[in-house]
Amino acid sequence: MITLNGATVCVTGGARGIGRATATALAARGAVVHIGDRDLAAATSTADSLGPRVHAHHLDVTDEASFRGFLGAAAESGPLDMLVNNAGIQHMGRFAELDLDALQRELAINLGAVVTGTHLVLPGMLERGRGHVVNVSSMAGKVTTPGIATYCASKFGVVALTRAIRAELAGSGVTVTTVLPAATRTELTAGVRLRLQPTLQPEAVAAAIVDSARHGRGEVTVPRCLAPIGILEETLPTAIMWRLKRFVGGAEYGAYDSGQRKDYLDRIRS
């Protein structure tokens, strides 16, 4: 597996939240970390706070040329050992009422960028016979949640994509892991009703991402106790699942506190 001390690692969406926590944990293990983010000022602030091993780059994960440029700049530190496809956004509300362009962009960031990033790094890793890719999904990639339909679709897609690629890579020396966290206390969940749901701090997800370089397991659920929850979706009668989801999420699917969520929505819409 990957020895992180001295390794070259790229993290997308690295300025904030899980990405920032992951960059912090990687740097603490001695990795040279390149964080990419649309918000270069925030990425630079994060890199400056984490020390000389962490470097900031502008990155639009929906643009192939931008992604190639990001990876090329990182390669100046040495061959890429690990890529963390972390960038993601979430729109909330009833599917039919949401802006279609916003939903298409959500898919492009959450799933399309994972396709792009993984496709760009694998040839070099396969040629060297080593490398590790982490694709950050969500428990929404196991259990459908009304009010975030497109987010669920994107995260289900990340799980399926990574499973298929993992089978193709068997025996190559290159590994790929899907990390599926429960709701995490970042801007993405600002104003979201999280009644009775287990919630995490970004550092817990970052620890799972970093540890995957050591063990290379195919799928990691955070926390581990939620690993079987996807089975409920397939086995419980639909009416019971609907009642459970309504109880946890509230009477109105996709409802949130607009005041608490305003700054996040303004940022991802800009």
In tens, the pLDDT along 54-82 reads: 999 999 999 999 999 999 999 999 999 99
Rounded Cα–Cα distance for residues 25 and 56 (Å): 16
In sequence order, the 6+-apart residues with CB closer than 8 A to the CB of 131 are 2, 80, 81, 82, 83, 121, 122, 124, 125, 173, 174, 175
DSSP H helical segments within 170-226, as ranges? 202-215
* CATH number listed for the domain at residues 8-269: 3.40.50.720
* HSE value, Cβ hemisphere, 13 Å, CA-based, for 112: 15
Whole-prediction pTM value? 0.92
Rounded Cα–Cα distance for residues 28 and 32 (Å): 10
Give yes or no for residue 244 having a pLDDT over 70: yes
Provide the pLDDT confidence category of residue 249 given band limits of 50, 70 and 90: low
Asked about 253 being catalytic, the answer comes back as no
Rounded Cα–Cα distance for residues 22 and 148 (Å): 25
Provide the pLDDT confidence category of residue 43 given band limits of 50, 70 and 90: very high
**Which residues face 21 on adjacent strands?**
none
Domain residue ranges in the chain? 8-269
Q: What is the DSSP letter of 192?
A: B
Of 151, 253, 256, 264, catalytic: 151
Q: Exposed/middle/buried for 89, CB within 10 Å: 0-12, 13-18, 19+?
A: buried
In whole angstroms, what separates CA 152 from the centre of its chain? 13
Hey, what's the torsion of the CAs at 257, 19, 217, 106, to 10 degrees? 50
